[in-house]
Amino acid sequence: MTLLASTHGYWNLQTFWFFLIAVLWIGYFVLEGFDFGVGTLLPVVGRDDDERGVLIRTIGPVWDGNEVWLLVAGGATFAAFPGWYASLFSGFYLALFLILVVLILRGIAIEYRNKRPDSEWRHRWDLVLSASSGLAAVLWGVGVSDFVGGVPTNAEGQVTANLLDLLHPYAVFGGLTMLALFSFHGALFLGLRTTGALEARAKATAARLGLPAAALTFGYLIWTYANARSNGRGLVPGIIPVAAFLLPFAAGALLRSGHLGWAFAATAGSIALVVLTLFLNLYPRVIVSGTSAAWSPTIWSTSSSHYTLVVMTIVALVFTPIVLAYQAWSYWVFRGRLGDENAPHSPLELLERSPLGTGTPQTGA
């Protein structure tokens, strides 16, 4: 603890919590990434009401659990870096409000879709789910790009940007990159979780998305490097950014060779490394000032007291492994494939069919 508590060099509690928050964002984007991808591709892979229902059930038991990563990331930011949190919810207020509305609509669409046995009713909610999932992916891409691309601030490090200031070309390109990467990630997930015609259609969709996702990821990281150079910094050297843009290309090759699981792992790795690259490039700043480099708030100027960080670290070290173990268990339970001919119609029925239930075990993904 003494080493972590040092205020000199890289080993200190501020750095520890900065990168723990980065890990939380990585977990959110990797897990919710395929959720967003499934929702976005709903009208593409699913041809009718029953097929779209199967696609939604692939994420039904896990999508709300995946959103916990976002809640924990927000809570950790509030507790560890209240100045950072305050800047986000003042300067990014309208943007965060839009994201909140989109996420609410997405949750309502999933939960309300089957409240009536009317195909037209379900079709309308499917469109809401698809639109909200795609828009959420774009908005998150824009948001994380703004942190690194730079936004107007004042001398106190407070964000003074309006909504249009956040939609500069680099941020919009980041949003489109996340949309393509999440869609590719989601298509591969559907290929792993479905059977029959749905599986074939998901693989075909993934094959079409592979090259655009890889090209956009490559362009996004190059643009990130150019922005960093213009701010007097270089992009994080080494294998991390290189692997971040190579992995989508690898995922396409693995898909063509029939290694779907490894392709999915490659897109997950790419998403993780893109987010890690952004955080590494941001450190020790928490937001890049587009007004003056000297006005960028840092982990030092926005952090909580040493005592608060110590208590938070102890709690995190105790409970984080428990949460990870529980989520891993839930994915293991709901690992089976779904097909339109035998799809369960509720998480309870899906659990009963799992190897831990009393019904017939599902085929492993």
The pTM is what? 0.88
The answer to whether residue 247 is domain-embedded is yes
- Say yes or no to pLDDT of 178 above 80: yes
- Say yes or no to pLDDT of 247 above 60: yes
Q: Name the pLDDT band for 364 (thresholds 50, 70, 90).
A: very low
pLDDT computed for residue 1 by the predictor:
34
**Segment 288-327, tens digit of pLDDT:** 888 887 888 999 999 999 999 999 999 999 988 998 898 8
The answer to whether residue 358 is domain-embedded is no
**Segment 332-348, tens digit of pLDDT:** 888 888 874 454 444 45
Tell me how many degrees the CA angle 293-296-299 measures, rounded to the nearest 5.
Answer: 135
The answer to whether residue 312 is domain-embedded is yes
Percent of the chain at pLDDT > 70 equals 88
**Segment 100-138, tens digit of pLDDT:** 999 999 999 999 998 888 889 999 999 999 999 999 999
Provide the number of structural domains found in the chain. Answer: 1
The answer to whether residue 326 is domain-embedded is yes
pLDDT computed for residue 353 by the predictor:
52
**Segment 9-40, tens digit of pLDDT:** 557 899 999 999 999 999 999 999 999 999 99
pLDDT computed for residue 2 by the predictor:
36
pLDDT computed for residue 34 by the predictor:
96
pLDDT computed for residue 362 by the predictor:
45
Which candidate, 51, 9, 85, places its Cα nearest to that of 286?
85
Domain of 334 in residue numbering reads as: 2-353
Q: Name the pLDDT band for 330 (thresholds 50, 70, 90).
A: confident
Max mean pLDDT among 142-151, 216-225, 241-250, 266-275 falls in 266-275
Q: Name the pLDDT band for 150 (thresholds 50, 70, 90).
A: confident
- Say yes or no to pLDDT of 361 above 50: no
Residues 143 and 92 sit within 8 Å (Cβ to Cβ): yes
**Average model confidence (pLDDT) across the chain:** 87
Q: For residues 206 and 211, what is the distance between their CA atoms, to the nearest angstrom?
A: 9
Which candidate, 194, 187, 241, places its Cα nearest to that of 212?
187
What contacts 130, CB < 8 A, 6 or more positions away? 39, 40, 41, 42, 43
Which sign does the torsion angle of CA 350, 354, 360, 361 carry?
A: positive
Average pLDDT (136-143) is: 96
pLDDT computed for residue 351 by the predictor:
52
The answer to whether residue 359 is domain-embedded is no
More confident residue, 130 or 360: 130
Which candidate, 130, 125, 127, places its Cα nearest to that of 111?
125
- Which residue type, as a one-letter code, is found at position 332? W
Residue 17 φ then ψ, to 5°: -75, -30
